[in-house]
Chain A
Amino acid sequence: AQTVTQSQPEMSVQEAETVTLSCTYDTSENNYYLFWYKQPPSRQMILVIRQEAYKQQNATENRFSVNFQKAAKSFSLKISDSQLGDTAMYFCAFMVIQGAQKLVFGQGTRLTINP
């Protein structure tokens, strides 16, 4: 069975700062996807960034980038130049390729960006 752990329940930074959210996972699978999803207060879950495990290059989407360390089973999210709209719950998630369309989520990190 796969597990995903987010060790930071809450984080708070000032606007324009850089923040890194941590995620570790445990699996015996070799081919999988990792995701970061964002869930703003009272709004729906949206995809932030995705990483395929077979790709060595870290994924980047504008101000969002990941540090994927496959051997260490670590998948952290870096948000650069943070904005007030980045305030949300952030969930790290795992899914096996060619398996069930089933995401395994971490418990989430509540990120607050302060003006």
Chain B
Amino acid sequence: KAGVTQTPRYLIKTRGQQVTLSCSPISGHRSVSWYQQTPGQGLQFLFEYFSETQRNKGNFPGRFSGRQFSNSRSEMNVSTLELGDSALYLCASSTYPGSSDTQYFGPGTRLTVL
């Protein structure tokens, strides 16, 4: 079974631009969660999607948004990029919320904001 895939793997943007990152979960997994990883703040939860609905959101400004499609693929969008948004963005999938299943991570998208 193919793992979680994320595209693109690397991205360079300038301040003020916006960016869209994509995540395809493991086949059969319907829950997708997003995390931001930075050297200073570590790994922080961004949001969780299930059945095309955002179930939970972490403590991030409204510039961070996301969505999930009917095939469980998910995208996250960051508008008006700031230097501090430079990070590794990780997507993780699991079967469904509240299941005893584990979250499996993708390779991440490394975003650099100049």
Contacts and interface: CB of A to CB of B under 8 A. Distances in A.
Interface of A: 35, 37, 43-47, 50, 52, 91, 95, 97-108
10 contacts: A44-B107, A100-B97, A101-B33, A101-B56, A101-B97, A101-B103, A102-B58, A104-B45, A105-B43, A106-B42
Contacts of B42: 105-108
Contacts of A100: 48, 55-56, 97
Contacts of B106: 44
Given A101-B31, A102-B33, A50 B102 contact: yes
Contacts of A98: 98
A105 B58 CA distance: 13
Given A100-B55, A105-B42, A47 B102 contact: yes
Contacts of A47: 102, 104
Nearest to A100: B56
A99 to B, nearest CB: 7
A104 B94 CA distance: 16
Contacts, number: 51
Contacts of B50: 101
Where chain B touches its partner, the secondary structure class is strand
B87 interface: no
Contacts of B81: none
Contacts of B108: 44
Given A43-B107, A101-B31, A102-B48, 10 more contacts: A35-B102, A47-B104, A97-B98, A99-B98, A100-B97, A101-B92, A102-B33, A103-B33, A103-B35, A103-B103
B21 interface: no
Nearest to B95: A101
A72 to B, nearest CB: 23
Contacts of A50: 102
Contact of A44 (B48, B56, B105): B105
Interface in B33-90: 33, 35, 42-43, 45, 48, 50, 55-56, 58, 90
